[in-house]
Amino acid sequence: MQNFGRVTLADICDDLVIYRQLEPLDKRLPKVKTAQRRVGLTGNPIPRKQEADYAKIALWYAGEAQRVREVSTPLQELLFIGDTIYNDGQAYENMRTVSGWRGSCFIGTDVIDEAPKEQTDEESGLYMANRWSALGKWAEWLSQQGMSLNEETVVIVDIDKTALGAKGRNDGVIDQARLEGAYETMSALLTQKFDGPAFEHYYRELNRERYHAVTADNQDYIAYICLVLSTGLIGFDDLIGEINAGQLSSFDQFIRLVETRMMIRPVNSEFFRQAHDAVIMAVRNDDPTPFKRFRRQEFISTVKRMGQLADDTDADVLLLEEITINNELYELVTWLRKRGCLIICLSDKPDEASCPHPHVSPDLPPVHRAETHAVGTSIQPTLDALGT
C-alpha cells in the first residue's frame, strides 16, 4: 500500500452526489419531488437503495445529468462500483432491468489472508473480487466484453466503504467515526449519567446481524436503542433476552415498550425527552433517518477523520487512523471520466451524516469536498495500456 497524496471525491464527480433523501447536491438538477413526479412515483416515500423505485429515480437523474453536461449522446451503458452484493448488487440489477442497458457491476473488498481471486458472470455483468486492485483487471474485462466506456456510459460509484474507507482495507475508520459521533451525542444528552464503556458495549453488540429484526441494520435505530439502555429505562440483559425469545421482533415494538416504561418510570432528563420525541415523530413520518442529532455529530466526526494526518504519513498508519480515498477506484474513475463517461456518486448514507448543518457545523466542508489521502496500489499502467 502507498500514500498517493491528497485528493477529494469531488475531483472525480464534482457535485454529482446523491445521498439517502435523493436530493442531488448539484443545484443544476431538479429536486427529488420533480424526479418522483416524472417517473410516476408522486406521493410515495423515498425508496431505499436496493428497491426498484430507487433505480427509476437514479436513472432519471442520470439522464438529467447527461443533459446538464450538454452531451446529446443518449446513455445506454451502465457501470456500477460497490462493496456489497445486497445493496449495491441489487441496485445495479434493478437499474439494468429498468433501463435495459448493457452493464457491469464490480463488487470489491480486500481479503488479504486469501489468495487473489475474481468471479465473473458474463450474462449479468457481475464481477466480484477480493482485492480492490482487481479494478484494473475489471477494466480489461470490460474492454474484452466490447463495452464502449465513453459518453454513452454512466458510472455509478458507491461512497461509504467503496470510494471512501475501502471495505477490508480502511472501513474500520468509518465505523470508528460513527461510534465517536454516537458517543458524543449520548454524552451531551445524558451528561454526568453517561457511562461510556457501557454504551460502547451496547453499541458493538447490537451492531450485529443477529439483531437485525429489531435494528433493521439502521444505525439510527441502534443509536437510539443504546440511548434508551444508557438511561436504565430498559436493562440490556432484559432486552437481549426478549429478542432471543422472539418477544421483541421489530423497532416499532421497541418504541412501544419504551413508551410503556416511560409512563411507569419517566426519565428525569429533558434532553432525553426531546431526543425521544424527535425520533418518534420521524419514525411516524416514515423517515429512515430518525436520530438526526446523532447523524449530524457523525458528520463532524467523519470530516475530522479526513486528511488530518501529515502528508508524509505511512500508508499503514493512514489506513488505521484516517478515512482515505480508494486509490485504485480514483485512478479508474479518473480514466473513465477522461473517456467521456458520466460519473455519479450514489449513497444510501444519510444526508445529515454527509453534509454540514448551517447551525451545527457551518465551517466544515461536505464529505465529498473534504480533502484526504488516496491510499492503495496503482492500476495506472493497466489503464494506460488500454488507451484513452
316-363 pLDDT per residue, tens: 999 999 999 999 999 999 999 999 999 999 999 999 999 999 988 999
Confidence of residue 97 (pLDDT cuts 50, 70, 90): very high
Rounded to 10 deg, the angle between the 90-99 and 52-68 helix axes is 70
Tell me how far CA of residue 118 lies from CA of 106, 129, 132, 314, in angstroms: 10, 4, 11, 29
Confidence of residue 313 (pLDDT cuts 50, 70, 90): very high
Q: Which has the higher per-residue pLDDT, 196 or 312?
A: 312
- State the Cα–Cα distance between residues 160 and 64, nearest whole angstrom: 24
pLDDT tens per residue across span 126-173: 999 999 999 999 999 999 999 999 999 999 999 999 999 999 999 999
Listing from the earlier edge strand, what are the strands of the sheet with 2-7? Answer: 2-7, 372-376, 325-326
Confirm if 112 and 170 have CB atoms less than 8 A apart: no
- 265 has pLDDT over 90: no
Nearest to 327 by CA among 136, 54, 89: 136
Q: What is the pLDDT of residue 209?
A: 87
Q: What is the pLDDT of residue 161?
A: 97
The strand ranges marked E within the chain are: 2-7, 17-18, 77-82, 102-108, 118-121, 126-129, 153-157, 325-326, 342-346, 372-376
Beta bridge partners, 21, equal none
The DSSP result for 141-152, as a single string, is: HHHHTT---STT
| pTM, two decimal places | 0.92
Rg (CA), the chain: 22
Q: What is the pLDDT of residue 159?
A: 97
Beta bridge partners, 343, equal 155
pLDDT tens per residue across span 268-310: 667 788 888 889 898 888 888 999 999 999 999 999 999 999 9
- State the Cα–Cα distance between residues 251 and 224, nearest whole angstrom: 10
User: What residue type is assigned to position 325 of the chain?
Assistant: I
Confirm if 383 and 335 have CB atoms less than 8 A apart: yes
- 254 has pLDDT over 80: yes
- State the Cα–Cα distance between residues 199 and 25, nearest whole angstrom: 34
Q: What is the pLDDT of residue 283?
A: 87
Confidence of residue 238 (pLDDT cuts 50, 70, 90): very high
* Mean predicted confidence (pLDDT) in 10-37: 96
Q: Are strands 153-157 and 342-346 parallel, antiparallel or unpaired?
A: parallel
Owner of C-alpha cell 457501557? 198
